Chains A and B, each alone.
Chain A
Amino acid sequence: MNRRDLLGYLPGLTLLLFLAPVAAGLIGTWLPAFGYFPALGGEGFALTPWVMLFDHPGLGESLRLTLVSGLLATLVSFALTVFFLAACHGSRFVLAVRGLMAPLLAVPHAAMALGLAFLIAPSGWLVRLASPWATGWDLPPDVATLQDPNALALTLGLIMKELPFLLLMTLAALEHSRADERLAIARSLGYGPVMAWLKTVLPAIYRQIRLPIYAVLAYSLSVVDMALILAPLSPPPLAVQVFRWFNDPDLTMRFVAAAGAVLQLLVVVGAIGLWRCAEILAARLGRIWIAGGRRGGKGRVLRVLVTAVIQVLVALAAAGLLAMAIWSVTRRWRYPDALPSALTTDVWARQGHDLIWTTGTTLISGLAAAFIALALVLGCLENEQRRGLSISTRALWLLYAPLLVPQVAFLFGSQVLSIQIGIDGTWIALVWSHLLFVLPYVFLSLADPYRALDERYSRTALCLGASPNRIFWRVKLPMLLRPILFATAVGFAVSVTQYLPTLFAGAGRFVTLTTEAVSLSAGGDRRVMGVFAFLQAALPLAAFAAALALPRRLARSRVLREQRA
């Protein structure tokens, strides 16, 4: 069998690798939801799980928290993205924000949530900085700023994580939209900058950012790790409640949990459906609005406003990371001091053993998932180019499937599957479960640069007598080194951030920095939390720094070699 044939099977294999667990997981969750789960004595179909689910006293409140935080976070992130780009198109600030968003995207959800908690808790850094001289509070105020009854802290945390993703996806869509030409025409027709962007650019790029928005919606409605840190706990948002039921020592609760997982899926499907309806309505009204021909003003107020909001969000994220770093080396930090009164590295030293093991597990699973994903994605892209195929919109939906289906809605079923094939709680299951989420992101970051590489380089090399394989290794890979390393770093960061997959697929046998940071957040020692959360945020950032620095280093050594020559 030759290489070409092997390559031809790769897209199918890749799809199978990451769609089979999702599909099997969904079925494996639906069956127990309707009472069928022989391992626990459920031999026939019944609606009892649903009756128990709807009898649960806190269900209504759980649903309310889920819908408020999920919808609000998505709406605000979307609105900020659109109005920021509309008001600031082409300005230097957009470039600056683009540079800041990539590292923010790399920070794991749990670390971002802990950082935010360190800041806004009643005894958090913000209150300490302003007390008692401004607030008069000698004791932490008795206000629920964290785990507040309306899940607004969770909403804020979600916005801080989802805004960078939406902004970067929209900026990527803008690159192919000939936005500058559209704006130039609209401006010459007398439209203000914001109006011009909203009326000529947004309609052109919305189709491309639709899937990312749905992914944000699905994620925000079903997040567990951030909710454990920032959302109220009794009752918690739906996804957290379902997760608790899955871990209940009373095994019969698995049935209720499965029904809850199906409900979670329905919530996400319903929300996406609702968003789609709103899209259709907005498109219809938008056409009338555009036809109305209002030109709009200079948009200065909007510009100042949106810029300020984004600056505050970035500052919050950075200050949260800083707070974690400071806490991790704190010996004594009494309320309401603005800074610790004594520093120490004891906490790091005491956690040394645990740190090495959890960091090791995080690194191994992250690197394995990232490199496997990279190999599969490169193979698929190369196959696509050699055969002159291009991926259709429908195939893109498949790629997004693991990002659109809530994790709690299928991970239990996948775990049942992995027990049946005997890989439950092994490295294979762990890396595979991470791969489901790593693959789509690696593909999304690599596909554009790979397809954009001037294909005449390959043609030239072919005409010089180089075989397609030689071109792949000697021309394409070196020329695409930068995006390849970047995509690998993205994959690694996505793996580090995984919380539920690590717990489900690892069967509790694997402890990563993320699972450790989240479980520590329930305790009270901010110093230990600081250590794990800081390291959790630092690993992906280090990966990105390496991905950026390595090509530069290689380039510099080439220049040096030339100068010597």
Chain B
Amino acid sequence: MTVVSVTRDYGLALRQVELSYGGRRFLGPLSLDVAPGEVVTVMGPSGCGKSSLLAFVCGTLDPALSGAGRILLNGADIGARPPEQRRVGILFQDDLLFPHLSVAGNLAFGLPPAMRDRKARRARIEEALAEADMAEFYDRDPATLSGGQRARVALLRTLLSEPCALLLDEPFAKLDVALRARFRSFVFDHARAQELPTLLVTHDPQDAADAGGPVIEIDAAGRLLGGKQVAANQRSPQRP
């Protein structure tokens, strides 16, 4: 990692990112900066390529699509790394908890392997669950949890993997309205507390409003819509 300009290099940055299918560009070029603890929202109708943008950032882009441009995380270009070495966590609309593992098993799956000691791992998981008011769910089968509980476990699993950035692919869309607001603040609070640069894609304006950060709008053809995006680009990243 370069240390030339430490102050500028924290956070997630996309530079001239373009996505194309069969040689035809369907999104971008897009440049943006997400400072640690900041939530940047990308808004657009379904089918405009928002989810593909996140897949490109975490390295799981459909092989039929191709992406160009640079992805900088804390100053390092992670574009060439395999997904498991990018340290980019993602939450989807569905919680995707592994059905064959218990709640604790799912969280343990996320914990970095470097933490060897079994007691320490257990303690870390219990601590995370307690902090989410879910201490008694340690051994439960994910199938027995409510939608809101599953969503929280999915976030905890991602956070326990100690990512350097957080991507949110409409994770609130499937929750009912009352739950949605609570889970939204749960996610944003954690992201801010851990100083994670967070990139949210959604088509729900309320998500964007709650996120409180810059908003970038994309139209159905994948073009960026005017002013706000410029504003986002011109914003200098917050200092850590």
Bound complex: CA A289 to CA B207 (Å)? 55
Contacts of B89 in A (CB 8 A): 463-464
Task: Tell whether B102 is near chain A: CB-to-CB under 8 Å.
Answer: yes
B59 x A462 contact (CB < 8 A): yes
Known: A559-B141, A561-B139. A459 touches B109 (CB 8 A): no
Task: Tell whether A351 is near chain B: CB-to-CB under 8 Å.
Answer: no
Task: Tell whether B58 is near chain A: CB-to-CB under 8 Å.
Answer: yes
Bound complex: CA A465 to CA B85 (Å)? 6
Bound complex: CA A1 to CA B196 (Å)? 37
Contact with A along B85-123 (1 / 0, CB 8 A): 111111010101011111000000110100000000000
Task: Tell whether A271 is near chain B: CB-to-CB under 8 Å.
Answer: no
B158 x A464 contact (CB < 8 A): yes
Bound complex: CA A458 to CA B90 (Å)? 12
Contact with B along A372-389 (1 / 0, CB 8 A): 000000000000000110
Task: Tell whether B163 is near chain A: CB-to-CB under 8 Å.
Answer: yes
| Among candidates A454, A461, A467, A481, residue contacting B109 with C-beta atoms closer than 8 Å | A461
Task: Tell whether A135 is near chain B: CB-to-CB under 8 Å.
Answer: no
Contacts of A454 in B (CB 8 A): 96
Bound complex: CA A130 to CA B157 (Å)? 69
Task: Tell whether A558 is near chain B: CB-to-CB under 8 Å.
Answer: yes
* Chain A nearest Cβ from B129, distance in angstroms: 13
B59 x A479 contact (CB < 8 A): no
> Nearest B residue to A385 by beta-carbon distance?
B63
A468 x B64 contact (CB < 8 A): no
Contact with A along B200-218 (1 / 0, CB 8 A): 0000000000000000000
B140 x A463 contact (CB < 8 A): no
> Nearest B residue to A466 by beta-carbon distance?
B84
A459 x B60 contact (CB < 8 A): yes
A-contacting residues, B153-167, CB 8 Å: 157-158, 161, 163, 167
B96 x A479 contact (CB < 8 A): no
B63 x A562 contact (CB < 8 A): no
Interface size for A (C-beta < 8 A) is 26
| Among candidates A456, A468, A479, A562, residue contacting B92 with C-beta atoms closer than 8 Å | A456
Task: Tell whether A93 is near chain B: CB-to-CB under 8 Å.
Answer: no
Task: Tell whether B26 is near chain A: CB-to-CB under 8 Å.
Answer: no
A463 x B158 contact (CB < 8 A): yes
* Chain A nearest Cβ from B101, distance in angstroms: 8
Contacts of A519 in B (CB 8 A): none
Task: Tell whether B69 is near chain A: CB-to-CB under 8 Å.
Answer: no
Known: A388-B64, A462-B58, A462-B60. A456 touches B96 (CB 8 A): yes
Task: Tell whether B62 is near chain A: CB-to-CB under 8 Å.
Answer: yes
Known: A456-B92, A474-B109. A463 touches B83 (CB 8 A): yes
| Among candidates B60, B85, B100, B110, residue contacting A479 with C-beta atoms closer than 8 Å | B100
Contacts of B102 in A (CB 8 A): 558, 562
Bound complex: CA A183 to CA B25 (Å)? 38
Contacts of A247 in B (CB 8 A): none
Task: Tell whether B183 is near chain A: CB-to-CB under 8 Å.
Answer: no
A459 x B83 contact (CB < 8 A): yes
Bound complex: CA A481 to CA B100 (Å)? 10
Task: Tell whether B55 is near chain A: CB-to-CB under 8 Å.
Answer: yes
* Chain B nearest Cβ from A281, distance in angstroms: 38
Among B82, B94, B100, B167, chain A packs the most CB atoms within 10 A around the CB of: B100
B-contacting residues, A435-475, CB 8 Å: 454, 456-468, 474-475
Contacts of B158 in A (CB 8 A): 463-464
Bound complex: CA A245 to CA B195 (Å)? 81
Known: A454-B96, A456-B94, A459-B90. A464 touches B60 (CB 8 A): no
A468 x B141 contact (CB < 8 A): no
> Nearest B residue to A454 by beta-carbon distance?
B96
* Chain B nearest Cβ from A251, distance in angstroms: 56
Task: Tell whether B138 is near chain A: CB-to-CB under 8 Å.
Answer: yes
Known: A388-B64, A465-B161, A562-B139. A460 touches B99 (CB 8 A): no
A467 x B96 contact (CB < 8 A): no
A464 x B98 contact (CB < 8 A): no
Task: Tell whether A90 is near chain B: CB-to-CB under 8 Å.
Answer: no
Contacts of B112 in A (CB 8 A): 465
| Among candidates B59, B63, B84, B87, residue contacting A467 with C-beta atoms closer than 8 Å | B84
Bound complex: CA A464 to CA B91 (Å)? 10
Bound complex: CA A478 to CA B109 (Å)? 13
* Chain B nearest Cβ from A2, distance in angstroms: 12
Known: A388-B62, A558-B141. A463 touches B90 (CB 8 A): yes
A562 x B141 contact (CB < 8 A): yes
| Among candidates A462, A468, A562, residue contacting B140 with C-beta atoms closer than 8 Å | A562
A459 x B58 contact (CB < 8 A): yes
* Chain B nearest Cβ from A392, distance in angstroms: 15
> Nearest B residue to A551 by beta-carbon distance?
B100
> Nearest A residue to B138 by beta-carbon distance?
A565
Contacts of B161 in A (CB 8 A): 463-465
| Among candidates B58, B62, B101, B141, residue contacting A463 with C-beta atoms closer than 8 Å | B58
| Among candidates B92, B101, B141, B157, residue contacting A464 with C-beta atoms closer than 8 Å | B157
Contacts of A456 in B (CB 8 A): 92, 94, 96
* Chain B nearest Cβ from A459, distance in angstroms: 4
Contacts of A460 in B (CB 8 A): 90, 92, 96
A475 x B90 contact (CB < 8 A): no
B-contacting residues, A539-565, CB 8 Å: 558-559, 561-562, 565
Bound complex: CA A474 to CA B109 (Å)? 9
Bound complex: CA A481 to CA B88 (Å)? 29
Among A460, A479, A561, chain B packs the most CB atoms within 10 A around the CB of: A460
A468 x B84 contact (CB < 8 A): yes
Bound complex: CA A458 to CA B109 (Å)? 12
Among B84, B101, B163, chain A packs the most CB atoms within 10 A around the CB of: B84
Contacts of A478 in B (CB 8 A): 98, 100-101
* Chain A nearest Cβ from B61, distance in angstroms: 10
Bound complex: CA A325 to CA B167 (Å)? 62
B100 x A463 contact (CB < 8 A): no
* Chain A nearest Cβ from B97, distance in angstroms: 9
B98 x A479 contact (CB < 8 A): yes
* Chain B nearest Cβ from A526, distance in angstroms: 48
* Chain B nearest Cβ from A55, distance in angstroms: 60
Bound complex: CA A466 to CA B233 (Å)? 33
| Among candidates A457, A481, A561, A565, residue contacting B96 with C-beta atoms closer than 8 Å | A457
Besides A463-B163, A481-B100, 5 more A-B contacts (Cβ < 8 Å) are A461-B109, A463-B83, A468-B82, A558-B102, A562-B139
Which 8 pairs between the two chains have the least Cβ-Cβ distance?
Answer: A388-B63, A565-B139, A462-B83, A478-B100, A459-B60, A464-B161, A463-B90, A464-B110
Contact residues of A with B, CB < 8 Å?
A: 387-388, 454, 456-468, 474-475, 478-479, 481, 558-559, 561-562, 565
What are 7 A-B pairs with beta-carbon distances under 8 A? A457-B98, A463-B89, A465-B161, A468-B82, A475-B98, A479-B98, A559-B141
